[in-house]
Amino acid sequence: MKLQHALTRPACWAAFFLVSGTGAFAKAAPQLTFEKAFDTQRQPAATYFEAQYQSGGKTHTLKVWRDRNLRLRRETDGRITTFVVNKADDDWTMTVLDSQKKIETVVDRTNLYRVGNFTSWFGLAHGLNPPVGKYEVRTMKKPPTTKLDKTAPPCNWYSYTQNINDTQVCWSKKLALPTTILNDKGDVIWKITKVSTKPFDLAKTFRFKDEGYIRNDANADISGD
């Protein structure tokens, strides 16, 4: 299979292009670094969460199992399952299973960067893409909107601006996740619908069955370009 076919299927890669950006909200507040605002130092050893997010005018569902900074399992729309193994210095390998097309794609971070795809471990594990280039992060008050889920976990609000993207992010340091993200119109474009920090069966969670799948080695395709 050609690389461009494997890496441009919207249903597959919508799972990885998570929300990023920020806005001109609460400009009087001091500017923060991305790392300070969206701190992950207190993240639980095990985290399972479910979320809904907007992409391409559609609502998508996401389930994520996070084993510290070592492993991830992500299920998108009940169709795409992604297993990510993290190594040193954010050097990770990703295996993507498309259960409808029965295609398995394997690719690592270095080769994704070579083709201009800057998917990050932070974005995959924490639901928010780090900035590329100039950005602004500032603290802000809770936005005046009736669209917020009152049952969402406690969090702190930040405006996060990158390029022309303005978002308002409610970040939970306890979970190391954005519980809610709003766009510049105040619409909810990401929300956590379920979360647990109870330990889960690691062997069962990160074991995958790929019998009958067509295997596409994207690393070999990219290296051969």
Question: What are the residue ranges spanned by the domains of the chain?
Answer: 3-223
Q: Identify the pLDDT of residue 8.
A: 42
Contacts of residue 75, defined as CB under 8 A and 6 or more positions apart, other chains included, come to 62, 63, 64, 81, 82
Range among 7-11, 129-133, 217-221 with highest mean pLDDT value: 129-133
For residues 221 and 212, give the distance between their C-alpha atoms in angstroms, rounded to a whole number: 21
DSSP 120: -
Read off the pLDDT of residues 22-59 as tens digits, 9 standing for 90 and up: 344 444 578 999 999 999 999 999 999 999 999 888 99
pLDDT grade, residue 3 (50/70/90)? very low
User: By three-state DSSP, how is residue 114 classified?
Assistant: helix
Contacts of residue 121, defined as CB under 8 A and 6 or more positions apart, other chains included, come to 69, 84, 86, 90, 92, 109
Beta bridge partners of 48: 65, 196
Contacts of residue 4, defined as CB under 8 A and 6 or more positions apart, other chains included, come to none
200: left (phi over 0), alpha (psi -120 to 50) or beta: beta
Phi/psi of residue 89, nearest 5 degrees:
55, 45
Tokens of 98: 């498309």
Contact between residue 188 and residue 47 where contact means Cβ atoms under 8 Å apart: no
Q: Identify the pLDDT of residue 29.
A: 79
**What is the rounded average pLDDT of the residues 141-168?**
85
pLDDT grade, residue 21 (50/70/90)? very low
Pairing type for strands 46-55 and 58-67 reads antiparallel
191: left (phi over 0), alpha (psi -120 to 50) or beta: beta
Query: Any idea which architecture 3-223 has in CATH?
Result: Clam (2.50)
Sequence length of the chain is: 225
Read off the pLDDT of residues 93-127 as tens digits, 9 standing for 90 and up: 999 999 999 999 998 888 877 776 778 899 999 99
Q: Identify the pLDDT of residue 28.
A: 54
| Residue (of 54, 59, 66, 50) closest to 21 by Cα position | 54
For residues 55 and 95, give the distance between their C-alpha atoms in angstroms, rounded to a whole number: 22
